[in-house]
Structure formats: structure tokens, C-alpha cells
A and B are shown apart, each in its own frame.
Chain A
Amino acid sequence: MVPSATGDGEFHGPSINEFFPDVIFFADTPFEINRIILIRFIAVAVLMLVFWLGTRRMKIIPTRGQSLAEMGLDFVRVNIAEDLLGKKDGKRFLPLLTTIFFMVLFMNLTGIIPFLNIAGTSVIGVPLLLGIIAYATFIYAGVKKNPAKFFRNSLFPPGVPVGLYIIVTPIEFISTFLVRPFTLTLRLMMNMIVGHLLLVLFFSATQFFFFTADGGFKLFGAGTLVFGFAFTLFEVLIALLQAYIFALLTAVYIQLALAEEH
């Protein structure tokens, strides 16, 4: 986040170019690395460090660090995987759901960490990739269980009069096979983009009011600072909630694909 108050005494709001910082390494190759990519690497490193430390020496009676790691893993295992998919299928898809949950969570949280200040998920790569993986997974789950039944249940839902299939089938096709990955991606990415833009707006406005504006306008700075702080806390909640929802919806889609009846 670069406060945009330049010397010309004007206020510059945040723009979408925030999400396309300058390339640092490997310019003009498919392996370009810019600031956001580096932030993602940091998030991955922190994630692995936390869980490596938490699960290094597993004991039956957990230490404090271990119980924290266990709590996180149990949250995904019990509340998402086993709750929606049951014990057996839950165990099958647990690695994927755990990965999705913690990857999204840690990359979301970089958005409010000082000096990182931008979420790793706010550029389309990660949300799109995870959306496609979730999409591929639920189709794989359905096809592996019973291809004919999966497609019949998703395209021709039972209990609908035959004539209505002309309308229902295209709608089901669009909602199941086109909209699902798209909404998964957009929900996560837009949440993070909007959250980041709001924070930048509040803090750059604070900067502007305090250092550039004159007289009574300086008071507004206090207001924008408080709002910025409140939204920072709100972003923590959003980060958790989006990670939860992404993993939960993936589990729901898999559950629907595995269901005997639609």
C-alpha cells in the first residue's frame, strides 16, 4: 500500500493498478515474480513453519503449540469434511479441503499484516486456480462414483415434469458447470480486492487529511483512521470467513456430486 499523497496537494484514491506492482525478477518470462508473488511465498513459508512446528513432535497429551495446530486441523476435519461428506469420503478429500482452507486463510491474512498489506488471494491466479481445482474435484468425485447417475442427476433433476426439462436442463447446466467455479473465484477475489481498496482508501485519506489538508479538515483524519482500524479488524473476520466458505462450498459441491439422489 503506497499512500498516494504526492506533493501536488491533491488526493489520489487507490486504483486497480495496486494489484499489478512492478516486476522484480524474471521480467518478460512466464515466471515473473512481483511483490504479490513474493507475499504468497511468504504466506506459504509461514504456513508450513506453523504446521511443522505444531506437528513436529505429536504427543497424546498436546502441548500448547500442538493443540493450536490440532485445533485448526480439527476444524477442517470435523466441521467441514466429516460434517458434510461423512467419515469415509471426508477422509478421502481431507487433504484437498485442508489445503484449500489454509492456503486461502494464510494468503487472505497477508492483507492486514503491516508491510505486506496486500492479500495473496487478491490477484486472480490463486482464486481461479483453486476454483478450477474445486470444479475438477467435484466432477471427478461424481464421475468416479457413477458417471451416468452423476450427469443425469445434475442435468435432469428427478421429480420434474418431462416437458420442463427444456428449461431446467440448460439452467442446471449453467449453474452447475459454468457458474460454480466462476462464483467461487469471484467471491474470494472480489472480497479481497474490495477489502484492500477500502483499507487503502481509509489510510491514504487519513494521510491526506493529516499532512496535506488544512485547518478543520484535519479532524476528518481521525474519523478515517478509526474507520480504517475497524475495517482492519473486519478484514480478519472476512479472511476467516472466506477461507471457511471456500472450503465449505467445495465440500458441498463434492457432497452433491456424491449424493445418490440430487
Chain B
Amino acid sequence: MDATTVLAEINGNIATVGYGLAAIGPAIGIGIVVGKTIEGVARQPELAGRLQVLMYIGIAFTEALAFIGIATYFIFTGN
């Protein structure tokens, strides 16, 4: 292994970077969902229970994308 190759080498798996990118969207999405729920509760505290359920459903849908992100590595390396 000569010096130039060693300098240019990046160890690890490109999927890590891919997951980092895939996590951005859901992260923002969950932030928005939770933030809006807090806003809603601040406006109408009596709806807190209902809004909380909706928030969890919203988080669940958004979060799923992040987990699909993890899964893509296994889907595309598949054996």
C-alpha cells in the first residue's frame, strides 16, 4: 500500500453517510410535529390529550422514514 492511497483512503461504509442524510428529514419533521403540538396545547390546553395522541401518530409516521433509512443498507446489500 503506497503513501498516496493511504492518504486518500476513507475507512468504513458509505451507508453511514447515507443514513446521516436520511436522518435529516425525519429529524426536522419530528421537530415540526412536536413544536406544532406544543403550540396547539398552548392555545387550547383542554385539547392536550387528543393532541398528544395525534402527535404520537404523526411522530410514528415521520420516524418511520428514518428507520427505512437504516433498513436501506440491508435492503441493498441483501443476501
Residue numbers of A with Cβ under 8 A of B are 79, 83-84, 183, 186-187, 189-191, 193-194, 241, 244-245, 248-249, 252
> B53 contacts the other chain (Cβ, under 8 Å)?
yes
B38 shortest CB reach to chain A, Å: 18
Asked whether any CB of chain A lies closer than 8 Å to the CB of B57, the reply is yes
Residue numbers of B with Cβ under 8 A of A are: 53, 56-57, 59-61, 63-64, 67-68, 70-71
CB atoms of B70 and A194 under 8 A apart: yes
Q: Note all chain B residues with C-beta closer than 8 A to A191.
A: 67
For A245, the chain B residues whose CB sits under 8 A away are 56-57, 59-60
Report the 7 A-B pairs with minimum CB-CB distance, sorted nearest first: A190-B67, A183-B64, A245-B60, A186-B67, A190-B70, A187-B64, A187-B67
User: Given the complex of chains A and B, what is the CA–CA distance between A241 and B59 in angstroms?
Assistant: 11
CB pair B67–A248 under 8 Å, yes or no, is no
Contact B56 A248 (CB under 8 A): yes
Secondary structure type dominating chain A contacts: helix
B77 CB, min distance to chain A CBs, angstroms: 10
B63: chain A residues at CB < 8 Å are 187
B71 and A248 contact, CB distance less than 8 A = no
**C-alpha gap A183/B67 in the complex (Å):** 8
- A248 touching B64 by the CB < 8 A rule? no
The residue among B57, B60, B61 with the most chain A CB atoms within 10 A of its own CB is: B60
Minimum CB distance partner of B69 in chain A? A190
A189 to B67 alpha-carbon distance, docked (Å)? 9
Question: Is B64 touching A186 in the complex (CB atoms < 8 A)?
Answer: yes
A248 partner, pick from B57, B68, B70, beta carbons under 8 A: B57
Closest Cβ of chain B: how far from A49's Cβ, in Å? 29
B17 vs chain A, min Cβ distance (A) = 17
CA distance A61 to B77 in the complex (A): 57
Q: Do residues B53 and A187 form an inter-chain contact, with CB atoms below 8 A?
A: no
Residue of B nearest to A191 (CB): B67
By a CB distance below 8 angstroms, the chain A residues around B61 are: 183
* A175 to chain B: closest residue by CB: B61
How distant is the Cα of A249 from the Cα of B53 in the complex, in angstroms? 10
A249 touches B67 (CB 8 A): no
CA of A83 to CA of B70, assembled, Å: 33
| Contact in complex: A244, B67 (CB < 8 Å) | no
Extra A-B contacts (6), CB below 8 Å, given A244-B56, A252-B57? A183-B61, A183-B68, A186-B71, A187-B64, A194-B70, A248-B53
Known contacts A186-B71, A187-B67, A194-B70: does B53 contact A83 (CB below 8 Å)? yes
CB distance from B11 to the nearest CB of A (A): 12
Closest chain B residue to A179, Cβ basis: B64
